Structure 1
Amino acid sequence: MLRSLAVRSVAGMVAVQAAVVATLVATDAIKRRQRAKRSGFPRPGTFEHTVADTGTTVYTYGEDLYRDMLAAIRGAQHQVLLETFIWKDDEVGRSFLEAVNAAAARGVQVHVMYDGFGNLVVPRSFYRFHPDVHVYRFPVLRPNLLLSPLQATGLTHRKLLVVDQEVGFVGGYNVGSLYATQWRDTHVRLTGPAAFELGHSFASVWNHPSARRPKLPHVNPGAWDSRVRAINNIPASLVYPIRSVYLDAIHRATDHIYLTTAYFIPDQQILSALIEASRRGVDVRVILPENSNHVLADWLSRGFYSTLLAEGITVLLYRNAMIHAKTATIDGQWSIVGTANIDRLSLGFNYETNLEIHDRDFAADMEAVFAADSENCRELTAGQWDERSPAAWFAETVLVPLRPFL
């Protein structure tokens, strides 16, 4: 009887969750048509500095980034390494496809990785590569899933471009026209010795021992300098250091933490670290989308708002566009930009790459970007949040058990 009651309780909870999710998705589909008419967003600009003999460029607008990425591919002389989660069949997507094919046609060594699950809606016929392009499409299901499920899972959520081991790009921008003008995101370009970091990031997945494909040659770094460092989550090796890097930096904070993420579903340790920082007097501010492209992620994120606000953490909701950036800057000296969100998928499941930079000038750039984005945000207050409808509170509560899966 007890077992039957337990089964019925679980089944009932799952049914309620399914009903809530279906309602949220349907409601969001209606609202999304209205959001399509959003008026746009301010552009923080492009910022350039030099860190450890490497030039850094921070991009905050897709058109600017794509222009320079395509110029780098078109100017490649020896090698192009390109990896992306989403590669859309549209004007921007075709421009990148044509650029890598043209590079291969003129004798440049081209290696491409993209995710199968992330591009399920894109016709396979779109990906018509030159015969000399080395391509790996991350499969939706891998053959060794039953033998080693943890190592055989994980999407490639990375967005990398490395050209001639001299120029490297990493950040939140996927490849597509939507992202060129309608999404607020952040990407970084490295020009110089530290581009090795991103080339090594690409090779660490391409050359993984489990992969059956010709290996990329190892490239020695020009110099050892820890001020610029790529941090890589590699599920095939059961390695997920990005989370630890975030935790270490948050624990060290003494003045301020400015965090921007598209999807905020932290585990208990990250949430506790942010709360502890706020309690010891650190100014903790978090920019999140007011409405993202994933309604379920939004509602799971909202389940944390009461806790954040009660602990004096500033919650800033970005308006009029989807903010997809994955960045943080702490105490005016440490910053991180990359592909990983503050959620379990990014920090414990996907292939991800974040660039960690210790430099005051770069941190000043990131603070300027955060300040510009903050101007386009609505600051949420505890009073406002307490006035939400009982239905909203109910939905947040019902969805709590789904947090570990996102």
Structure 2
Amino acid sequence: MLQFFEKGLQYSGENISADSYLMRKIIEAATPSADKGTVSAEKMLGLVNPNQIEIVSGSENTYRLIVHKIKEAKKQILIQAFVWEPETQVVKDIRNALCDIKHEVEVFLLVDQLDRLAQVFYHGEILPKKPKHDPACLGLDNLPQNIKLHIGTHVHNSIASNHNKAIWIDGDVILTGANFQQENYGPNGFHDAAMFIPGGAAEAVFYDFKAMWDKRTNKSDELEISPIFTGQESTESYRNTNSCSVLYVTNTIRQKWALLPFYRAPLPEDPLNNAYMAAIKYAKHTIRIAVPNLNSPEIIHALADFINNRNGHVYLLMGKGFNDFRERFYGGTNQSSIDYLSSLLDEDRQNNLQVRWFHRVNDNEISIKKEVIHMKFMSIDGQVVIYGSSNLDLLSLHNSHETNIVIDNADFAQRAIEQLYLPIFETSIPVLISPKRTCFVCS
């Protein structure tokens, strides 16, 4: 087993022996590349009581969970946000929650901000504006004196972003794919979810935040300010019959384009990518995926190998046409990826792949306004869940900073499938698959 397991760290040999075979293979694949992420190998691993993990489905329910936990904050709050729209109700609710706190709380907010060229790439903006990051521009002005707010930014003109959305509150963690944006509201809002994880993953999430905070582009605003880890509840409380292993996997921002004319970069070696590839490689019978975008050639080929050579079944849920403007030029659209994956399957394995376009109502028509599944979820063999911020496209796996948690517990996996996956998969619309090779980047 890996050397750091023998160093007397919080993750003991007793817990390793309790891990599933699949989890052990994921750990073995992910931890040796820790230096390609943001968290050291020994901090990537933790223990949680899976019964204490709270799961919420829906973007507005996610916002309610975040605001509720912020209201209970005692000392320190760390927030990473890819999109932070100050006029949205959730930002107003966060500000009100902070104003209601009577004791001193330190808040670190790290926001990704697109500079002008990046606004054109991500959103097709015709008249992009220079981003601002003062408290008033972020909707957090006039906070009471007991709330110490520190703002960090990652401003960039490249495609490489800080796409993470983790929140750390006094040693507990909320992981979500949700941005703080207006598009998440209403009956046709982006669909997302969240998990509240007490203890366990706290150290990894904290040090990921600190690594990204130390790389912020506005360091000159507050040179010496950095969050300080205040400790967490002893892992002894999780080391019981209910405890299970969790692995926090990350990658780092990379400026280099993964795709250029006549060139495609291989999938980078890092904890997050290696965890995905190991999960698929060692899966035995069933993989369920919900993701906004998928076009990574390595992921597509791994799924095809799983279906063809192990008679595996893949259930894939995505949004029709989501991000097509961008993905068409950087890896391929969801439709082209589906077509290519199908073209790789043996004729007698075609039915092992079920793909659906996300849809909230159980009928056969997609509304004029395209519905978006924004949750990033994978379950493997009903045993392991991978959940976090990462898409399965070139932008996430090659360029952006992403974080996922890997949870190894069959009961929890079943609960997550039943609460997060099956209800929306069942109402979504089956995709008619045309087995034609249309994704040139995958060839």
Relative distance call for 1:371 and 1:153 in structure 2 (3 A) is closer
Q: After alignment, is 345-354 or 314-323 more displaced?
A: 314-323
One-letter amino acid matched to 1:230: Y
Give me the whole-angstrom Cα distance separating, in 2, the residues matched to 1:239 and 1:133: 36
| 1:278 correspondence with 2:307 | yes
1:70 maps to 2:81: no
Distance 1:99 1:239, change over 3 A: farther
| Distance apart, 1:244 and its partner CA | 0.8
> Which residue does the alignment assign to 1:379?
430
Superposed CA deviations along residues 313-346 of structure 1, whole A, max 9, x for unmatched, are 2221112521011110000101111000001111
> 1:239-250 maps to which residues of 2 (within 5 A)?
240-250=270-280
- 1:21 alignment partner in structure 2: none
The letter of the residue matching 2:272 is I
Secondary structure of residue in 2 paired with 1:138: strand
How far residue 281 of structure 1 moved from its aligned partner, in angstroms, is: 0.6
The structure-2 alpha-carbon separation of the partners of 1:291 and 1:343, relative to structure 1 and needing over 3 Å to count, comes to same
Would you say 1:52 and 2:28 are equivalent positions?
no
Aligned positions of 1:276-355 closer than 5 A? 276-279=305-308, 280-297=310-327, 300-310=333-343, 311=345, 312=350, 313-319=353-359, 320=367, 321-355=371-405
Say if 2:113 and 2:131, in contact at 8 Å, map to a contact too: no
Partners of 2:112 and 2:216 in 1: how far apart? 19
The alpha carbon displacement at 1:111 in A equals 0.6
Query: Residue deviations 1:77-103, cap 9 Å, x none?
Result: 100111110011323243255147537
- Aligned-residue sequence identity (percent) comes to 20
Secondary structure class of the residue paired with 2:209: helix
Q: Contact conserved, 1:58 with 1:188, CA < 8 A, in 2?
A: yes
AA aligned to 2:320 is E
Question: Which structure features the higher share of helix residues?
Answer: 1
- Give how far 1:67 is off: 1.3
Higher relative contact order (CA 8 A, sep 6+): 2
Tell me the C-alpha RMSD between the 2 structures. Answer: 3.3
TM-score, normalised with respect to structure 2: 0.66
Cα distance change on mapping 1:367 and 1:72 into 2, 3 Å: closer
Partner residue, 1:203:
210
Please give the residue correspondences for 1:180-195 in structure 2 after superposition, counting only pairs within 5 Å: 180-181=185-186, 182-195=189-202
In the alignment, the residues of structure 1 paired with residue 129 and residue 391 of structure 2 have an alpha-carbon distance, to the nearest angstrom, of 23
Counterpart check, 1:223 vs 2:235: yes
Distance change (3 Å), C-alpha of 1:75 and 1:367: closer
Count of equivalent residues: 331
Please, what TM-score do these two structures have when normalized by structure 1? 0.72
Change beyond 3 A, Cα 1:213–1:302: farther
Q: Contact between 2:384 and 2:409, CA under 8 Å: does it hold in 1?
A: yes
Which runs of 5 or more residues in structure 2 are unaligned?
1-46, 120-127, 256-267, 360-366
Q: Mind listing any 5+ residue stretches in structure 1 that lack a counterpart?
A: 1-49, 142-151, 387-392
CA contact (8 A) 2:175 2:196 kept: yes
| 1:82-121 map, 5 Å | 82-96=79-93, 98-99=95-96, 102=99, 106-117=103-114
Matched AA of 2:247: R
